[in-house]
Every structure is written in C-alpha cells, then in structure tokens.
Amino acid sequence: MIIDVNAYLGHWPFRQLRHNTATGLLKLMDENGIDKAMVSSINAIFYKNSHSGNEELATEIKMHRDRLIPSATLNPEYPGWKDDLKQCHEDFGMSGLRLFPHYHNYTLGKGKSLDMIRDATNRGMFVSVPIRVVDRRQRHWLDNVSDLSISDIEQAMRECPEASFIILNSGGFHNTKLVRDEKLRSGNFLIEISRMSVVLQEAIPRLMEVLGPEKLAFGTGMPFKYPAPALLKMQVLKAPEEVKEKILWQNAARMLK
Amino acid sequence: MKIDCHMHVKGRRRSWGWGDNDKIIDAADRLGIDKLCCSIPITSGMPTPAEVQERNDDVLEAMKRYPGRILGYCFVNPGYRKEAIAEIERCVIKHEMMGIKLYNQYKCSDPAVYPVVEEAIELKIPILEHAGYVSDPAQAARQPKISHAGDFVKLAAEYPEAMLIEAHIGGGGDWEWGIKTLRHSPSVYLDTSGSVIDEGMIEMAVRELGAERLLFGTDMTMEGGVGKVTGARITESQREDIFWKNMAAILERREQS
C-alpha cells in the first residue's frame, strides 16, 4: 500500500500541468503503483474566494473517493471561512486543510490562521502546509511568492499543540527547532520526503535517526513533479520492510483516523 | 548502464554535504550509475590558477581512488588564458581527464572563453558549463555572469564543432525557456540534472531537441536525477540514449583520437 500525502488537482497558471484531473492523476498513480493520494485544489490557491476551488475539487473527485482524499484550501483572512470549512468537512467529507500562507498573504502562526487551524483540529482534520509550490528560481514574473520558513510552522505548532501537521515540499531540517526542541519534536506532525534524499546527503536516514520513522510520510508532489524519484528513494532506503510501510502509508493513515 | 555527465567530488576545501567520497560510490551502486563525470568548480569570484589547480588535483585524487567510476572534468577560469590552457593540457593530456568544466566567471559567449573552446575542440573533449535562465531577480543577481541557453546559441554559432553541454535543465531556471531557445542549435547538448524534477520536463526536451541531445546527470540530486529519466514517458531507446549512449559517444571521440 502506498499513500501519497502531497498531490494536487487543477490548473497552475504559470506552467501547463499534465495528469491534473482526477482521471489523469489516477492513471499516473496506477502507472506508478500508488494506491491513494491526499489532494487539494490548485485553483483554490489563486481564486480570491478559495472555496470555489474546494467546490470544484469535491465535484471532480466525487466518483473516486476510495482513492483521492481531499483537503480544503481556505484563506483565513477572507470572509466566510468558518462556514466554508464546515461545508468542506461536513458536506464534502474533506479530512484535511492545506494552507498556502504566502500566496494568501498571512502569517501561519498568528491571528485568524490559528483560529482556522484550531477549528480544523476540533473537527479532527489534519493541517498540511507546503513550504513551496514551485522552485523560486524559475518563477513566473507574476509569481512573487517566497518559500515558507520552517520557523513559521514551528510557531503554529507551538500555538496549536493539539493540531496534526503535515509539512510538504521541505528541503531539509538540519538545525531547525523542530528536530532540536524536545517539545516540538514530540508533537503530532509528519514530514513529507519528496525534496529530501536517501543516498549521498542522506537527509531522510538522518531524520529517521533523530525523529524516528513515525514522523516521515511518502509524497511525490504530483502532478507538478515526477513521482518516480520519491518511489526510487523508498526502493534504495536501507530499512526493514515494516519501517518502509510506516513511511509509505501507515503514518499517513494515522492522520486520517 | 548509466553515465552521470554532471557530478562533483568532495575536495580539501570544498564540501558538498557528504562526509567522504565513498558516499558517491555507494549512491551510484544503489542507483545503478556506472560512471560519474566529476569536477570541483569554484563557484564565486575569480579564482587564481593556484586555486584552480588545487581543485583539479582533488578530482585527480578521486579518479585514482575510484578508477573507471570517477571520471574528471578540468575546471578552469578563462580569465587566466595561458594558465587555463596549461591546466587543461596537464589534466587532460597528462592525467586523462575527460572534459572541461566552466562555471560563472564568464558568460560562455564571452570572447575570453574562446581559447578554452578552441583547446577543447583540439583535444576532442566536451565543455560542461554551469547554466540557467533564472527568472527570479534576487537569485539572478547572485550570478550576473551565469550563462543561459541564449549564450550557448551564440557560442555554438561561433564554434559549431565544439561539444558544448548546457548544465542542469533542472538547475532551477526556467527550463521551458532554455529548451525552446536551444531548438536551432543542434551542436549543444543539454544535461538533465538538477534538483527540479518537474513532470513533463524530459518529455518536452525530447520533443523539442531530440533524445540524442540529452545527457543524463544528477548534479548531486541522485534519486531525482535517475527518477526523472526513468519516470518520463519516452521510448526505451530514447532512455538508453539519455542514460549513457550519448555520453559514451562523446567520450569515445577523445579515446579514438
């Protein structure tokens, strides 16, 4: 079993994506042996009223709920988010909230953002946060958004210790408080692996040593990125099968309970 | 079979994030990479001939330590014309390095680079030049003389017989811009390395340039480098060309001379 915690559906305004419909993504998943994927709406990042993207996502995956696990994307600074979150959870059956603070121009660990994280947590939803969507070096001239800092997520984790976080598209955690601070380290979070290595720099094995395999989750970044590199990492990881199973799906499944 | 056309080794004064060069061989073994073409460029400032020589000596040391697995590029600063040519002759003729590595000291189309290109043509060896069309102004400002595809087009027009390799399609710049710019410069190869593993990148490069102009590389993104080629929707014959046949043909030109 493989669960990808880092997948998306929809249109990215600055580069043509393939496999970005439900059927397209499922075909790509089938070709790569990926059973389930946690998805959110790319459109919701760019719509002023993000919730329209959630409505589109709910319709798009209606027939594929056994394999595509939706997360809501909302902007806490935009009116109506409480009602929208309620609808995403209660009517659309969304089990997560995926946040893009830099695209929506707010600070993750302050103000209304914390209200939204707490509301989602009270509903039993996990909160996933991509550090970046695309590499800044190749950004479109209208896409002036920088990477999120790990410290932004650490701040939100401190403020909302009861919340469950999944950190997506992060490059490394060397010397971050998340790995050094015992209280933060013992929090309920997962780190997704798509931007970290198993061989050479060995970021993944080193994180496993510090945090334990219970803190890591398989993710690809589909359809932005090729899924093959993430799968290859799991192949070459020197770890017992039961440890790989945790990373490949068990840790992600824990977030869904 | 895989030949990595763009890799680096650790030297006395240059560390890339791993402890010992044994890690490279371990990574290559786990990913099925047979040979790695390596260099130690000096990535800022205008290095002196003595500094350059020290880096190349470290590459030679790695070549001796891992014969047949680590092949060497001779890094030079074209600003020291006479010394650069002497260093190329020392490394290539005396010590059997396989190519020349240029970084961002000059744009590759700058006439200061011409004597190095002429030497490469004479010796029948390729030039791998650090490159990228960086669209983020802050990132671009850090490397004002980084070459982009347009600079390679100019240089190839001056020296169509040169074997020019534009480095890392996934090195962080706008890869679509780079691929389209190179369309009509058939003597320029493009290497597939870099940390960006955007889905569709390899397919577009094959479609626009042809698989015969692409060379597999990692530039230290090991699983990503291999995975983006294995995951691309191209024919097995095209994959073989990219993974090793094209680079083997380049290496043979020197061997046969």
Nearest-CA distance from B246 to chain A in Å?
A: 22
Nearest-CA distance from B28 to chain A in Å?
A: 9
pLDDT band at A149 (very low <50, low <70, confident <90, very high): very high
Return d(Cα A158, Cα A26) in angstroms, integer: 36
CB contact under 8 A, B135 and A222: no
pLDDT for B76: 98
- Collect all residues of chain A within an 8 Å Cβ-Cβ radius of residue B232: 226
- Section B146-169 average pLDDT: 97
Contacts of B118 (CB under 8 A, 6+ apart): B159
Return d(Cα A194, Cα A234) in angstroms, integer: 11
Contacts of B2 (CB under 8 A, 6+ apart): B31, B32, B33, B34, B35, B216, B226, B243, B244
Q: How many CB atoms lie within 10 A of CB A57?
A: 28
CB contact under 8 A, B222 and A197: yes
SS3 A53: helix
**Domains of chain A with bracketed CATH:** 3-255 (3.20.20.140)
pLDDT for A108: 98
Domain that holds residue B153: 3-256
Suggest the residue from B197, B204, B228, B239 to mutate for an interface test with chain A (most A CBs closer than 10 A).
Answer: B197
pLDDT for B257: 78
CB contact under 8 A, A199 and B134: no
Pair A50, A78: CB distance under 8 Å: yes
Contacts of B16 (CB under 8 A, 6+ apart): B8, B10, B220
Of B139, B226, B231, the CB nearest to A227: B231
Return d(Cα B63, Cα B59) in angstroms, integer: 6
**Nearest-CA residue of chain B relative to A15?**
B176
Q: Which residues pair with A37 in a beta bridge?
A: A4, A68
Average pLDDT over chain A, rounded to an integer: 97
pLDDT tens readout for residues A155-166: 999 999 999 999
Suggest the residue from A169, A198, A199, A224 to mutate for an interface test with chain B (most B CBs closer than 10 A).
Answer: A199
> Residue A188: CA atoms inside 13 Å, Cβ hemisphere, count?
16
pLDDT for B136: 82
pLDDT band at B172 (very low <50, low <70, confident <90, very high): confident
- Collect all residues of chain A within an 8 Å Cβ-Cβ radius of residue B199: 17-19, 222-226
- Section A178-195 average pLDDT: 94
Suggest the residue from A138, A146, A204, A233 to mutate for an interface test with chain B (most B CBs closer than 10 A).
Answer: A138
Of A141, A197, A198, the CB nearest to B135: A141
Average pLDDT over chain B, rounded to an integer: 97
CATH number of the domain that residue B180 is part of: 3.20.20.140
- Collect all residues of chain B within an 8 Å Cβ-Cβ radius of residue A138: 134-136, 172-175, 196
SS3 A231: helix
CB contact under 8 A, B199 and A225: yes
pLDDT for A257: 80
CB contact under 8 A, B139 and A136: yes
Continuous segment of H or E residues that includes residue A52: helix A51-60
Of A137, A221, A236, the CB nearest to B223: A236
pLDDT tens readout for residues B182-223: 999 999 999 999 999 999 999 999 999 999 999 999 999 999
CB contact under 8 A, A138 and B27: no
Q: In chain A, which among 220-249 make CB contacts under 8 A with chain B?
A: 221-233, 236
pLDDT for A73: 98
pLDDT tens readout for residues B6-39: 999 999 999 998 989 999 999 999 999 999 999 9
**Nearest-CA residue of chain B relative to A234?**
B223
Asked if pLDDT for residue B148 goes beyond 80, the answer is yes
Suggest the residue from A9, A34, A232, A235 to mutate for an interface test with chain B (most B CBs closer than 10 A).
Answer: A232
Inform me whether the C-beta atom of residue A27 falls under 8 Å from chain B C-beta atoms.
Answer: no
CB contact under 8 A, B200 and A200: no
Return d(Cα A218, Cα A247) in angstroms, integer: 6
**Share of residues in chain A with pLDDT > 70 (%):** 100
CB contact under 8 A, B231 and A136: no
Inform me whether the C-beta atom of residue A136 falls under 8 Å from chain B C-beta atoms.
Answer: yes
Of B26, B135, B200, the CB nearest to A139: B135
pLDDT tens readout for residues A42-67: 999 999 999 999 999 999 999 999 99
For chain B, how many structural domains are there in total? 1
Inform me whether the C-beta atom of residue A16 falls under 8 Å from chain B C-beta atoms.
Answer: yes
Residue B162 identity (one-letter amino acid): A
Continuous segment of H or E residues that includes residue B248: helix B246-256
Tokens of B5: 């056309």
In this predicted complex, what is the ipTM?
0.96
Contacts of B102 (CB under 8 A, 6+ apart): B41, B75, B76, B78, B108, B113, B116, B127, B128, B129, B130
Pair A178, A136: CB distance under 8 Å: no
- Collect all residues of chain A within an 8 Å Cβ-Cβ radius of residue B220: 200-201
- Section B115-126 average pLDDT: 98
